[in-house]
């Protein structure tokens, strides 16, 4: 077995505390200010907000769509196919979801890369150039997040 290596602070010579990265599964970069704005917006119902969270969790890496129909999604989230379709259409209208393909007549979606992205920073920068920012009522890109320390 190899020797355990420790990180040492270059200025003080002291060991840097280490904690193993013990989280399970994939991880996603999330724009907290946009998610906060969606969560607090009265323009979206609780079911619509729930599906935004679900889409953040299930959207594949890069700009790939989730390869699932409305019926597939409805089974997974415990909603009717019609409800999922209506919600997905509204979220698409607000550019929170983006269409990235089709299965027959059904659109394939993913969360906007402005809201959440699984990939490198460079890949995300390229991804946001392929679509317009979401239209979240009450959100202003030029203002700091409400909870941001000034």
- pLDDT at residue 140, rounded to an integer: 82
Pick the CATH number of 33-128 from 3.30.1180.20, 1.10.10.10, 3.40.50.920, 3.30.230.20: 1.10.10.10
Enter the tokens of residue 144: 């700091």
Listed by start position, the domains of the chain span: 33-128
Do residues 116 and 30 lie in contact, with contact meaning Cβ atoms separated by under 8 Å?
yes
Phi, psi dihedral angles at 8 (to 5 degrees): -120, 130
Enter the tokens of residue 75: 């089974």
pLDDT averaged over consecutive 10-residue blocks of the chain (150 residues)? 68 77 72 95 97 96 94 96 97 98 92 94 92 92 61
- pLDDT at residue 11, rounded to an integer: 86
Phi, psi dihedral angles at 42 (to 5 degrees): -85, -5
- pLDDT at residue 103, rounded to an integer: 87
Angle at 61 (CA atoms; ends 83, 100), nearest 5 degrees: 50
What pTM value is reported for the model?
0.79
- pLDDT at residue 13, rounded to an integer: 86
- pLDDT at residue 7, rounded to an integer: 74
- pLDDT at residue 20, rounded to an integer: 60
**Which DSSP symbol is given to 85?**
H
Residue 86: Cβ-neighbour burial (10 angstroms; 0-12, 13-18, 19+): middle
Distance, in Å, from the CA atom of 108 to the CA atom of 99, rounded to the nearest integer, reads 6
- pLDDT at residue 16, rounded to an integer: 78
């Amino acid at each position: 077995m190899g020797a355990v290596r420790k990180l040492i602070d270059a200025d003080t010579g002291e060991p840097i505390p280490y904690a193993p990265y013990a989280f399970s599964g994939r991880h996603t970069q999330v724009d907290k200010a946009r998610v906060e704005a969606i969560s607090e917006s009265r323009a979206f119902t609780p079911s619509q907000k729930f599906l935004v969270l679900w889409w953040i969790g299930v959207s594949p890496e890069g700009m790939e769509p989730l390869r699932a129909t409305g019926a597939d999604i409805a089974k997974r989230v415990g909603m009717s196919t019609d409800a999922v379709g209506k919600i997905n259409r509204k979220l698409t209208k607000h550019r929170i979801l983006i269409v990235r393909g089709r299965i027959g007549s059904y659109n394939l979606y993913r969360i906007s890369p402005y809201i959440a992205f699984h990939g490198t920073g460079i890949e995300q920068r390229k991804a946001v150039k392929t679509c317009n920012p979401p239209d979240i009522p009450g959100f202003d890109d030029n203002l700091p997040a409400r909870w941001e320390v000034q």
